[in-house]
Structure 1
Amino acid sequence: MEVSIIIVSYNCKSFVFECIDSIKKLTELITYEVIVVDNNSSDGIEDDVVIRYPDILFFKNDYNGGFGYANNIGLAHAKGKYVFFLNPDTLLLNNVCQTLYDYLELNNNVAALGCRVYDENLNNQMSYGKFPSVIQYLLEVFPVKWVSDNYKNKISSEGYLTEDLDLDVEFISGADLFVRKSVLDHIGGFDENFFLFFEEVDLCMRIKNAGYQIRITSQAKLIHLMGQTMQVSFQKFKWFEESRYVFLRKYYSKKFIVFSKSIFIFRYLFLWLKYLDKEWHKRAVFIYKLK
């Protein structure tokens, strides 16, 4: 087996089916398996997925343990030389698996590889990002006009591949993370302390710390219907901030964490005073209470 494709599902059955259809339509010249791990959905996916795709492996969890938890279950059953963690709201645009496989076969020190990502209108979408930094957070909260867009893009937590090239990056979007199975066996899978968000950033940090390269290639292309499987809500904000501080506590100093909390509390209090919207006050209070 050359590639194991792992898809985590949570109440997004139609997206999962469209994703699998795109895999089956465009993947060739390579042996692969599809593993779907469902986080205790209520959409009845277990009644349809095996009938529709009898050749896939399907696992249904008895509770929602988070994105990393479900991916680790898939990883435990993966037989491929490479593992492709793929979001359910993605659609392949070319023979992505074979392209990524061939690339890593020729580049031994690259441990993880990502694609050029587009939205549904084929506009460039987030493909990669930079690890947190003081300057990054300052520019996120205070978007001063005299700083060039090019510089902002270089240090941003969200990077967009806008040209046909290969690029060394710090982390790859969790929507399409193609990793050597041997590296995962060495460093471990996802840290399940992250329920949602930052789990791919943490995994890439550990890959980097182990001495490997991480890269994006425009040769592989896909669509990411970003956010389509989850509505914007205060709960989503809470998951993001909780995960952000799990990550910061794991790798950064206490001084950086205090700085981070202070600057984002200031941001949300400013927005609260500006718009008199209690949502911003809730966010400031939530971050203040994070331990």
Structure 2
Amino acid sequence: MLEQAPAPEAAGRLAQVTVLVIAFNSAAVLPGCLAALPRGVRLVVVDNASTDDSAAIAEAAGAEVIRLPGNLGFGRAANLGFARAETPFGLLLNPDTRAAPGMVEALLEAAARYPEAALLAPRIETEEGELQFGRLPVLLRHRGRARPVPPVGDCCAPYVGGAAMFFRLEVFRALGGFDPEIFLYYEDDDICMRLRAAGHALVHVEAARLLHGNARSSAPSAAVSFGKEWHMAWSRQHMLRKHRGAWRAAAAGGLLMAELAGKLALRWGHPQRGKWSARLAGTAAAMAGRRAVEVAIR
């Protein structure tokens, strides 16, 4: 069962939050994620047709489990989970995260301090102690850009990572939630860009702490690795078309495909050939108009 027991006054505040975890063959990391959360929040796990014990682990931890018959992907599963939430706030977590004590309470306190913030995020650190902060949305990045100075307190940010996103659900729903065309990757970039375009602030909350295991949400396999690279490429091309227009997307996609095809033709035996092949296929599929949601990871 969940282990953190809040004080009575804190329990009332925590009842304002639905914590949503999206699982896909996440049995190795899900127990730690769920055990770190406080009692008092509504805990929901959307299981994307896992073949391991993810759903059973979530039920044993006291979570409400939504078992899907197939893998909907990350953003669409999150939309489904939050559609059932009756709380004003929703915290979306990767299953390979572990909340520090007091994290949810700190996010609630920050939401009260910053009413203009529609999306808040904790201070996210890797197991090696590296701060995950300062990344720009994919369409705003430039090669050679200096790494931002780590914050010493709360601050506004152009992007907060999908590992932990604390939404005002009224704004999340008004915006339409995550882009349902994206199966995996860059759905966080997209919603951050859309929130900012709508005039909302994104806030990094220093007092809220979270440990992120980095790409351990699903059990590894060759098929999953290929699928992730395919969807990363598809989603990037989709983002270009959506936010930069068809002509710029076509030009960028054509150049990338030529680069990847050249690498595959010239670098036999290179350990990255599988990644290049997947990204070439994903980019080509996006440019041909194929929908990502038709290519689920299983």
TM bin (shorter chain): 0.7 to 0.9
**Cα distance, 1:270 vs. partner?**
5.5
State which drifts further: 228-237 or 183-192: 228-237
- Equivalent residue for 1:152, pick from 122, 146, 156: 146
Corresponding letter in the other structure for 2:242:
K
Cα pair distance change 1:45/1:237, threshold 3 Å: closer
Q: 1:34 maps to which residue? A: 43
**Cα distance, 1:43 vs. partner?**
1.0
| 1:13-92 map, 5 Å | 13-24=27-38, 31-50=40-59, 52-54=60-62, 56-92=63-99
Q: Any conservation in 2 of the 1:4–1:34 contact (CA below 8 Å)?
A: yes
- Equivalent residue for 2:256, pick from 249, 252, 264: 264
RMSD: 2.4
Corresponding letter in the other structure for 1:123:
E
Cα pair distance change 1:163/1:107, threshold 3 Å: closer
Distance 2:275 2:97 in 1: 31
Q: Please state whether the residue corresponding to 1:171 is helix, strand or coil.
A: coil
Q: Please state whether the residue corresponding to 2:147 is helix, strand or coil.
A: helix
Distance 2:33 2:152 in 1: 24
Gaps of 5+ in 2: 1-14, 288-298
**Cα distance, 1:34 vs. partner?**
0.8
**Cα distance, 1:252 vs. partner?**
1.1
Q: 1:117 maps to which residue? A: 124
Aligned length: 265
| 1:161-200 map, 5 Å | 162-200=150-188
Cα pair distance change 1:34/1:131, threshold 3 Å: same
2:10 is aligned with 1:3? no
Q: Please state whether the residue corresponding to 1:105 is helix, strand or coil.
A: helix
Cα pair distance change 1:99/1:285, threshold 3 Å: closer
Q: 1:142 maps to which residue? A: none
**Cα distance, 1:288 vs. partner?**
4.4
Identity, % of aligned positions: 23
- Equivalent residue for 2:238, pick from 246, 259, 267: 246
Gaps of 5+ in 1: 140-146, 155-160
Q: Any conservation in 1 of the 2:99–2:210 contact (CA below 8 Å)?
A: yes
Q: Any conservation in 1 of the 2:134–2:150 contact (CA below 8 Å)?
A: no
Distance 2:280 2:128 in 1: 37
**Cα distance, 1:272 vs. partner?**
4.1
- For residues 175-197 of structure 1, what are the alpha-carbon distances to aligned partners after superposition, in whole Å with 9 as ceiling and x for unaligned? 10011112113112222211111
2:122 is aligned with 1:130? no
Q: Any conservation in 1 of the 2:24–2:54 contact (CA below 8 Å)?
A: no
- For residues 120-172 of structure 1, what are the alpha-carbon distances to aligned partners after superposition, in whole Å with 9 as ceiling and x for unaligned? 12222356433414x62xx2xxxxxxx5xxx3335xxxxxx734222322221
- Equivalent residue for 1:229, pick from 217, 230, 241: 217
Q: Any conservation in 1 of the 2:35–2:61 contact (CA below 8 Å)?
A: no
